[in-house]
Amino acid sequence: MDGNLGAITGVMVATLCGGAVGLERQRSGHAVAPDGTDLHFAGLRTFTLLGLLSGVAGWLWRSGYGAPGLVLLGSAGILVSAAYVGASRRDVDGTTEVAALVVLAAGFVSGMGRAAFASALIATTVLLLMEKTRLHDWVSHVDDAEFRSGVRFAVMAAVILPLLPEGPYGPSPGVRPRELWIIVLLITGLEFTGYVARRRVGTQEGYTVAGLLGGLVSSTAVTLSYARLSRVQPASAIALASGAIAANVVLFPRVVLTALVLNAPLGRTMALRLLVPFLVVLLALGATRHRRTGAAVPDEPGRNPMNVMAALRLALVYQVAIYAIATVTRYLGDAGLLASGFLMGMADVDALTISVARQNGLGAGVAQGLLPDVIVIGVLGTTLFKLGVVAVAGGGAFRRRVSLALIVLALSLGAILLMS
């Protein structure tokens, strides 16, 4: 009985998938020409039937009747191909025919018992068909630098990353090539995102948007990247400062959310502890945006949106910091918990938060009331580290404004530690 119900469900989902694509084709006018004559071979009815046919083919294959299933599916594929050959004589657009092939594939998968995957496939297809105008408009605004950088990033993420070994290699804690390359992807991705955002919404707003987005992943990476750019683009110093401060605004909700998900009591405590510092940096962002002056400054023609060498240098610094943390922890043990939290926060606040929340204590006999202080001092560590980065790598108005915001933030964190 359950098997029959599953088969019926799979075929029904396949039919609905075909109907969804057919409805979009009919509604968008790709099934019928303006004069009422058929422009393409398939509309709502034909696509629905294609979904039904492919769903039955999948069910037959699943039931051990592979030959009849292949005949049905192959016949439908031949029909779609023949329809394209005929339609291409007056219209070379093959979107409808390709959509029909996707319906056949999704229907077959649904008939095989993978209805959820088939539904996701069709939902993506319908979205692509509906957003044709926006996609074409987006492509028309992509310049050569964006295209080349996008291709490079795709190769770095989809080709190089899977080939790198997990590790670790060498003395403990070891070198993890894949983890280091993810950091490189993060930095280059942030620069590319900022470049695209600035071109879409202007230099002044683009840095803030990119900073907010980048802060969801790494506020330190955003601060470092923008500090370096502030020397290259001094006219954009205030906008860059707004982006760096925006990234630090996002740090606090990110830490609290991570703690809440892994350890609800600790997360609630962290929400109270970090409320004042969050408000401090939020006010700093508002002040920086309010005082911004100057027109948007375009990027230099031909500038590379992704600086891979700078990202590699930051990954090297990160690896050195990991070894430093391991050394301090080994010699100080639980007594050096706060010192370890400070150093680990400089390298990765998220790793520190996860470690504290998951273990619910970093060693035997550690007081649970000390755990929030470990995270707070880790946030203080990363704040002071970013202050040093800004002082060394930043320039002009960027250094002054971001340094002031980070100093006030560090003072508020220190006050929380003293009162706890």
Q: What is the mean pLDDT for each group of 10 consecutive residues in the chain (420 residues)?
A: 68 88 77 54 81 89 84 84 72 75 88 87 84 65 67 80 84 79 74 66 64 76 84 83 88 87 86 92 83 46 60 70 64 66 77 68 51 88 90 86 92 89
Residue 355 burial (CB count, 10 A): 18
Determine phi and psi for 169, rounding to 5 degrees.
-125, 145
* CA-based nearest residue to 258, from 268, 245, 267, 249: 267
Res 301: pLDDT: 43
Res 408: pLDDT: 93
Cβ within 8 Å of residue 59, ≥6 positions away: 7, 10, 11, 69, 111, 112
Res 179: pLDDT: 75
What is the rounded CA–CA span in Å between residue 26 and residue 30? 6
Listed by start position, the domains of the chain span 2-138, 142-419
CA-to-CA dists, residue 238 to 23, 367, 388, angstroms: 50, 44, 19
Res 38: pLDDT: 53
Cβ within 8 Å of residue 212, ≥6 positions away: 243, 246, 247, 249, 250
Residue 115 burial (CB count, 10 A): 22
pTM metric for this prediction = 0.54
Res 362: pLDDT: 43
Res 95: pLDDT: 77
Res 212: pLDDT: 80
Residue type for 281, please? V
Res 360: pLDDT: 42
331-343 b/e (C-beta count within 10 Å ≥ 16 → b): eeeeeebbebbbb
Res 411: pLDDT: 94
Res 86: pLDDT: 72
Res 380: pLDDT: 93
Q: Which two tokens stand for residue 259?
A: 């703690």
Res 184: pLDDT: 78
Cβ within 8 Å of residue 343, ≥6 positions away: 321, 324, 325, 328, 381
